[in-house]
A = this chain, B = another copy of it.
């Protein structure tokens, strides 16, 4: 597990004046990118791009897409906007053949506001079929344990 501090944006609030439930899922996306790397084949990566501690995209070519096959999100309490980053704990629960199961906890102070999980899969752009995790990827995941 790793602990992130992700900046909220004022625009993450909705008409109820709290962080919108959809934007929580946007922040889950951002937490994955910060913790595990930029989805393969996207962005303009160069020498300045930081390498995440757990680089789940290590050695994954541009012909492979990093997709989501499942989310579960439990909203335990409203997450207020205080002009501060949100603490997000993120880790990996399970590694399967071609996917990983990710968990998240969002905090407001000492209270958990949201618990969530995602399944991330690696898929060939050409065939649309799952691509098994490499040894290199498995070695990266092992850093988290």
Contact = CB atoms under 8 A, between A and B. Distances in A.
A107 to B, nearest CB: 13
B20 A11 contact: yes
Interface stretch (A44-52, A90-98, A133-141): A44-52
Interface of A: 6-7, 9-11, 13-18, 20-22, 25-26, 29-30, 33, 38-39, 41-46, 48-50, 65, 67-75, 78, 80-84
26 contacts: A6-B7, A7-B7, A9-B26, A9-B33, A10-B15, A10-B29, A10-B33, A11-B26, A11-B29, A13-B14, A13-B43, A14-B15, A15-B15, A15-B39, A15-B42, A15-B43, A15-B81, A21-B29, A45-B82, A46-B82, A68-B75, A69-B75, A70-B73, A70-B75, A71-B71, A72-B72
